[in-house]
Chains A and B, each alone.
Chain A
Amino acid sequence: MHITASVFINDDEPGLHEDYKRWLEKLAPFDPSPQTYHHNRTGEDNGDAHHKRQIMGREVVVAVTKGKLDFGPWEQIFYGEFDGRRSKRVLVKVIGE
């Protein structure tokens, strides 16, 4: 529910998560300077986090079939935090019958 965080589906493999962190830091490095990110002119320091979240996405939609998540063999759901150290929420909404 916050715009510097993601929910995404991928592998539960620590090496891959380390790769994602390095890659995101390369694509959108943390830099509080307002010269690097115009967004940081607001006094915030999280311009990078808004970019990282766009790469990793905001949400996932998963089919529910016979009362279960209708997943392929390796799919796992993750919360991705890019500007943590404060309370943030994730919304789970389920519809159907």
Chain B
Amino acid sequence: MKSYRECLTFNVPQRMDFINITQQVKTAVEKSGVQNGLVLINAMHITASVFINDDEPGLHEDYKRWLEKLAPYDPSPKTYHHNRTGEDNGDAHHKRQIMGREVVVAVTDGKLDFGPWEQIFYGEFDGRRPKRVLIKIIGE
């Protein structure tokens, strides 16, 4: 069995934004030499997500508004107990749960085995600092 590991680092200038990382994952799969296997792509930080959906800016704007409604940014320790620790990112831990931590994608004949519109995104909910994504590929 082959295995391959790579980390990507993102320093997103906004608190919340989405970055298409599909090409970086494709490149990692090529480098791994794996023809048939699985690729795991996960946020290594707990206020960020990796998810698969449409590369459509309107949808991303919709996600941002919807997440802000479900878990509004509010640094007050009265709104989020978590902010009693001195942090202000209680909202970001909630947003990440909705969007998920990781995706697992099949690798078939050396390529990501995707449906017609699947694209992989890094979702940042507490940006303005360097954060990492792990790509781990196993197979043969």
CA distance A75 to B71 in the complex (A): 21
Assembled-state Cα–Cα distance A74/B92 (Å): 14
State which residues 5-64 of A face B: CB under 8 Å. 8-11, 13-16, 18-20, 23, 27, 55-57, 60-63
Q: Is the CB of A13 within 8 A of B96?
A: no
Shortest beta-carbon distance, B17 to chain A, in Å?
19
| A84 contacts chain B at the CB level, 8 A cutoff | no
Contact B94 A20 (CB under 8 A): yes
Q: Can you report 14 residue pairs joining A to B where beta carbons are below 8 Å apart?
A: A10-B46, A15-B90, A16-B90, A19-B94, A55-B98, A57-B101, A61-B104, A62-B42, A63-B40, A63-B134, A70-B136, A72-B44, A75-B44, A96-B1
Taking CB atoms, residues of chain A closer than 8 Å to B96 are 10
- A61-B102, A70-B136 as given contacts; A19 in contact with B82, CB under 8 Å: yes
A55 and B132 contacting across the interface, CB-CB below 8 Å: no
Q: Is A71 an interface residue (CB 8 A)?
A: yes
Complex Cα spacing A20 to B104, Å: 25
Q: How many A-B residue pairs have CB under 8 A?
A: 79
A74 → chain B closest CB, angstroms: 5
A13-B101 CB under 8 A given contacts A72-B45, A75-B44 = no
Instruction: A95 to B37: give the CA distance in the assembly, Å.
Output: 12
Is A27's CB under 8 angstroms from B46's CB?
A: no
CB neighbours (8 Å) of B24 from chain A are none
Tell me which of A10, A11, A61 contacts B42 (CB under 8 A). A61
Does any Cβ of B come within 8 Å of A87's Cβ? no
Instruction: Evaluate contact between B44 and A8: CB separation under 8 angstroms.
Output: no
Q: Are A63 and B82 in contact (CB under 8 A)?
A: no
For residue B85, which residues in chain A have a CB less than 8 angstroms away from its CB? 13, 15
Residues of A contacting B70 with CB < 8 Å? 27
Given A19-B82, A63-B134; A55-B97 close (CB under 8 Å) = yes
> What CA separation (Å) do A63 and B103 show in the bound complex?
12
Residue B127 CB within 8 A of the other chain = no
CA gap between A16 and B79 in the complex, in Å: 11
CB distance from B48 to the nearest CB of A (A): 9
Asked whether, in the complex, the Cβ of A60 is within 8 Å of the Cβ of B46, the reply is no
Taking the closest CB of chain B, its distance from the CB of A72, in whole angstroms, is: 3
